[in-house]
Chains A and B, each alone.
Chain A
Amino acid sequence: MSKGFLGEFEQMVLLAILQMGEKAFGLEIRREIEESAGRAVSRGAFYTTLDRMEKKGYLEWTEKVPEDAERKAPLRRFSLTPEGMRALRASHRAVSNLSRGLDQLLEES
């Protein structure tokens, strides 16, 4: 069942999770995106996007006890589901198909 393409922000979130692997915790994912994208990511938008993609079945999380003694709340480590992987691939393919031969142009900016 096709669910259409992912939004830009959704792609960024999924990519960041993949990049971070074992270290894909909520707070860290947001920081990774902020660093790579070079702009601030609102907490509200970020966490609601995570929630939404979880509901759509693109990602899942496991609870982890934090090592930092000062933190009492559990950590969530996120990972992509096969469904999420498929969606990311589809979106990515579409983008890369569209950007064929435009590398030079896109690099310039």
Chain B
Amino acid sequence: MSPLPPPRLPQVFLRWALPPGASGESIKGDLDQEYMERRNGHPQASVSGWYAFEALKLGFRFLLERIRPTPGRVGQGGRTPKRSSPVERFREEIGLSFRLLLRSPWLTAFAVVAMGLGIGVTATMYSFTHTVLQDLPYSESEELVSLNWDDVTSGWENMRLTAGEFDSWRDTQTTLEGLAAYRSTMADLADDTGEPEQLAAAYLSANAFTILGIQPARGRNFLEEEERPDGQGVALLSHRLWNRRYGADPEILGKSIRVNGIERTVVGIMPEGIHFPEWEDVWVPLLIDPTNEAGGAARRFVTFGRIREGADFSQAEAEFRTLAGQTALSAPEDYQNLTFRFRSYRSYILGEEAAPISLGLLAVISFVLLIACASVANLLLARAARRSRELAVQVALGAGRGRIIGQILAESLVISTMGGLLGVGLAYLGTAAMRRGLEAEPIPFSWMAIEVDPAVLAFTFGLVFIASLLAGVVPGLRASRVDVNEVLKDEGRGSTGLRMGRLSRALVISEVGLSCALLIIAGLLAKAPVEWSRSDPGFDKEGMFTGGITLRTTMYPASEDVLHFQTDLLERLKGIPGVTHAAFSSRLPGQRGAVWTFHHHGIAYEREQDLPRARGMVVGPGFFETVGVSLSGGRAFSNSDHSESPPVIIVNQSFAQQYFPEGSPLGRQIRVGGLDTEDSWRTVVGVAPDLTMAGPPSVEGSGFYLPLRQQPERDIKILLRTAGEPLALTPAVRTTVAELDQDLPVHSVNTLAREIMRDMTAEFVMAGLLIISGVAALVLAAIGLFGILAFTVQARTREIGIRMALGAESGKVLWGTLRSGMTQVGLGLVMGMALALLMASVLGELFHQTDPLDKTVWASVIFLLAIVGFLASWVPALRAVRTDPVTALRHE
């Protein structure tokens, strides 16, 4: 067994801290030797810990020694009277402040922690919002624009372009460097190297990467002729996929892979980190064929371009509005409800709400930063106030104003440096934790890596440093100007001497207020997701395996093939040991269902928008049994509900109440689809209980279920009920599917419970961020309050001692301190509630169904703050009472 050397980081620190040369080396050597001796008989972790701790102590001792202005306390000849250089004097000041700060270690620790916490939390949060607000990772990305249609009547926004629009505009336009289009999809990738898998893929026009300014790292880009139906056999791979699946083998170029069953030759590998538009790993050429009836009119093309040099946004917008107007004129009926939208690609891809939400978060974060500043400032104020007597003595002895301010600056600098280091550490830990927390649900865009931004770090640090500086300089200035006689007469009651009391009380009040507002908002935001996660979805979400399979038209051209495969697969899945029930559905229960329009029998609808809407899901036989609910009326679907049998439908209870309030829905007729639907009239054969269909955060909603065998669905979810661990079924499921189709991947494997939680990830992350900020704010405010009271008590020790000696009741002394603290907390709470009310009215929409005045949230926040405030005042108050009059009188 080879013995482990001492931990590396402490060693590096020691080398840096110890004197250079043989003496330093030998001192470190001594510690190393002790470490090696210790290793026998102690567990490794404890020895490493011991080494780190000892190295830290030893190193710090030498660092302190280095900044000591005079050599040793023994036999020293006093400070040298000769004038020292500014640098030396600065070093002296720093050394002096170190020692002064160590004399009140608690205050120093509080200030450092407050500062570190403030910097750490805000830098973490800023880093998070920065990832959302940053530029897209394409060269001159602000020049990229996006072309869309909005439907004014139906509310559909950001509709894509048709192949026809795209094809005609790209030839006529002059203001863009080129018009490119893409369509994202999921693709099944298969080859001879391993298991098939489903990946995010995109169909791209040949010029897309060129317009983005990205060249393949290897191989070539798509060619224009590959956009035509006969040139489709090529593909580009992402660097990540190339590494993971093909071991970065350059020989893959020119080899053949199967994408959705179509043979394609790999012609290029894109550079690392490129996953345009979101997380795509495979790209294939977009088929641009406006003459194709079905594909030509469908709005499938996400279209973007880059503004040509010499043109600007408004020129381009004007040109495309004209083009859009001409196109609309050519077919007025198709375009009567559509308005053309021309905007930056960034705002298209991130969504319009991304910016305000991030800015809201920024505002909240700034609160924390403000609180941190106030906290640090307050502690330093308390400190400066306490030192007013000492400063006055210095002034009396002839110290100049510059000297005193220099001292205070040095102190601020020392505290800021320590707090800053702590803050940087916390920021890195925080972002790492955040990355971990988001692992389950990848951030929507590949370029959004959550990393600490040095600029952000510098900014937060600068702000807190300035605050600490101000907090030092203001009392410093007052002290240097102060009437020396007055202060010297004022026995130790520093805070009264410099009249700093009012300012620091105001700071505590605003800290309490800000954290109160922050916590209320965080609570309101968190309530809906938390409640939703606890709510009863109407079924048992535990013990359920879920996965998905997609049957491509290339492999399964006819609906019969799809049905046949699905029937076959279901039987086999039921045979897997441990599976008690199995079923297919188009969506997972508990997740958002698609919105369908439908027709009531006997009502004539004139316009599309008159049709009623409800959530719909296609489910196979055994679905309700597998989910574990029984129908409240009628019957479930069975194998005899197929394409030849009478069309049927099952509605849920909300649907029954909303659309058939007068009686039983059983036997009534509905058909689904738009005005031109070809759906036949379906008879309601069952009423199901309400299972979450609208998706989070709402639990209820009208919905219906269609039988899979009458409404074939290629993209289905597998649901397997098991008594054991659901994911233990994964290998068996994959083998079962592979028995039927070797190229068919099972994707999105997860437990149902976790899949359902995923829908709320964004809400949870946001609420979590706010709660962390709120708690940090609370801690900061508590530190501020505690610090200020503790130091008031300490400063008044003598006075309290005298009063106690003269027979003052301890209860009165206790109450006095407590009251002063609680008054500040109370005022802070009032201010915080007012602020929260104001913010709640602005942010109201983010709270989902939670009432901005929700009693539980408000009451618990106020209660929490009151308790914390009470404790922060109680401890110093107790200390005041415990003061021994004799010691107190001696206290200086």
Q: Residues of A at under 8 Å CB distance from B?
A: 3-7, 10, 26-27, 30, 42-45, 47-48, 51-52, 54-56, 61, 63, 66, 68, 70-76
- CB-CB under 8 A from B572, the residues of chain A are none
Q: Which residue of A lies closest to B72 (CB)?
A: A52
Q: Which residue of A lies closest to B56 (CB)?
A: A44
Q: Which residue of B lies closest to A70 (CB)?
A: B36
Q: Judging by beta carbons under 8 Å apart, are A43 and B31 in contact?
A: yes
- CB-CB under 8 A from B22, the residues of chain A are 63, 74, 76
Q: Judging by beta carbons under 8 Å apart, are A26 and B61 in contact?
A: no
In the docked arrangement, what's the CA distance between A5 and B22, Å?
29
Q: Judging by beta carbons under 8 Å apart, are B75 and A3 in contact?
A: yes
Chain B nearest CB from A29 CB (Å) reads 10
Q: Judging by beta carbons under 8 Å apart, are A43 and B57 in contact?
A: yes
In the docked arrangement, what's the CA distance between A72 and B35, Å?
13
B33, CB-defined interface residue at 8 Å = yes
- Rank and list the top 9 A-B pairs by shortest CB-CB distance, nearest first: A73-B29, A44-B61, A4-B75, A3-B75, A7-B74, A27-B30, A76-B26, A48-B65, A73-B25
Pick the most buried of B19, B29, B30, B71: most chain A CB atoms within 10 A of its CB.
B30
Partner of A43, one of B54, B71, B73, B74: B54
In the docked arrangement, what's the CA distance between A35 and B266, Å?
76
Q: Judging by beta carbons under 8 Å apart, are A43 and B26 in contact?
A: no
Q: Which residue of B lies closest to A75 (CB)?
A: B26
Q: Judging by beta carbons under 8 Å apart, are B26 and A10 in contact?
A: no
Q: Judging by beta carbons under 8 Å apart, are A27 and B34 in contact?
A: yes
List 30 interface pairs A-B (beta carbons < 8 Å), by A numbering: A7-B73, A7-B74, A26-B26, A27-B33, A30-B30, A42-B57, A43-B30, A43-B54, A43-B58, A44-B57, A47-B58, A47-B61, A47-B62, A48-B61, A48-B62, A48-B65, A51-B65, A52-B65, A55-B71, A63-B22, A63-B26, A70-B36, A71-B29, A72-B29, A73-B29, A73-B30, A73-B32, A74-B22, A74-B29, A76-B22
In the docked arrangement, what's the CA distance between A52 and B19, Å?
12
Q: Judging by beta carbons under 8 Å apart, are B74 and A10 in contact?
A: yes
* CB interface residues, B 51-67, toward A, < 8 Å: 54, 57-58, 60-62, 65
- CB-CB under 8 A from A72, the residues of chain B are 29
In the docked arrangement, what's the CA distance between A70 and B62, Å?
26
Q: Which residue of B lies closest to A73 (CB)?
A: B29
Q: Judging by beta carbons under 8 Å apart, are B62 and A5 in contact?
A: no
Q: Judging by beta carbons under 8 Å apart, are A71 and B25 in contact?
A: no
Q: Which residue of A lies closest to B65 (CB)?
A: A48
Q: Which residue of B lies closest to A71 (CB)?
A: B33
Chain A nearest CB from B39 CB (Å) reads 10
In the docked arrangement, what's the CA distance between A87 and B29, Å?
29
In the docked arrangement, what's the CA distance between A44 and B58, Å?
4
B27, CB-defined interface residue at 8 Å = yes
Q: Which residue of A lies closest to B30 (CB)?
A: A27
- CB-CB under 8 A from B26, the residues of chain A are 26, 63, 73-76
Given A26-B30, A27-B33, A48-B65, are A6 and B58 neighbors across the interface (CB < 8 Å)? Answer: no
B23, CB-defined interface residue at 8 Å = yes
- CB-CB under 8 A from A4, the residues of chain B are 74-76
Chain B nearest CB from A67 CB (Å) reads 12
15 more CB-based (< 8 A) A-B contacts, given A71-B29, A75-B29, A76-B23: A4-B74, A26-B26, A26-B27, A43-B30, A43-B31, A43-B58, A44-B58, A51-B19, A51-B23, A56-B71, A71-B33, A73-B25, A73-B32, A74-B29, A76-B22
B346, CB-defined interface residue at 8 Å = no
Q: Which residue of B lies closest to A55 (CB)?
A: B71
B28, CB-defined interface residue at 8 Å = yes
In the docked arrangement, what's the CA distance between A43 and B54, Å?
8
Q: Which residue of A lies closest to B59 (CB)?
A: A44
Chain A nearest CB from B137 CB (Å) reads 48
- CB-CB under 8 A from B60, the residues of chain A are 44
In the docked arrangement, what's the CA distance between A26 and B25, Å?
12
- CB-CB under 8 A from A7, the residues of chain B are 73-74
Q: Judging by beta carbons under 8 Å apart, are B32 and A5 in contact?
A: no
- CB-CB under 8 A from A71, the residues of chain B are 29, 32-33, 36
Chain A nearest CB from B727 CB (Å) reads 49
In the docked arrangement, what's the CA distance between A77 and B22, Å?
12
Partner of A5, one of B19, B27, B36, B74: B74
Q: Judging by beta carbons under 8 Å apart, are A44 and B34 in contact?
A: no
- CB-CB under 8 A from B54, the residues of chain A are 43
Chain A nearest CB from B31 CB (Å) reads 7
Contact with A along B371-407 (1 / 0, CB 8 A): 0000000000000000000000000000000000000
Chain B nearest CB from A3 CB (Å) reads 4
- CB-CB under 8 A from A10, the residues of chain B are 74
Chain A nearest CB from B194 CB (Å) reads 49
Q: Which residue of A lies closest to B62 (CB)?
A: A48
Given A44-B61, A47-B58, are A74 and B25 neighbors across the interface (CB < 8 Å)? Answer: yes
Chain A nearest CB from B27 CB (Å) reads 5
- CB-CB under 8 A from A51, the residues of chain B are 19, 23, 65
- CB-CB under 8 A from A6, the residues of chain B are 74-75
In the docked arrangement, what's the CA distance between A4 and B29, Å?
33
Pick the most buried of B22, B31, B73, B75: most chain A CB atoms within 10 A of its CB.
B75
In the docked arrangement, what's the CA distance between A48 and B67, Å?
13
In the docked arrangement, what's the CA distance between A74 and B23, Å?
9
Chain B nearest CB from A23 CB (Å) reads 14
Partner of A44, one of B23, B62, B75, B76: B62
- CB-CB under 8 A from B29, the residues of chain A are 66, 71-75
- CB-CB under 8 A from B27, the residues of chain A are 26, 47
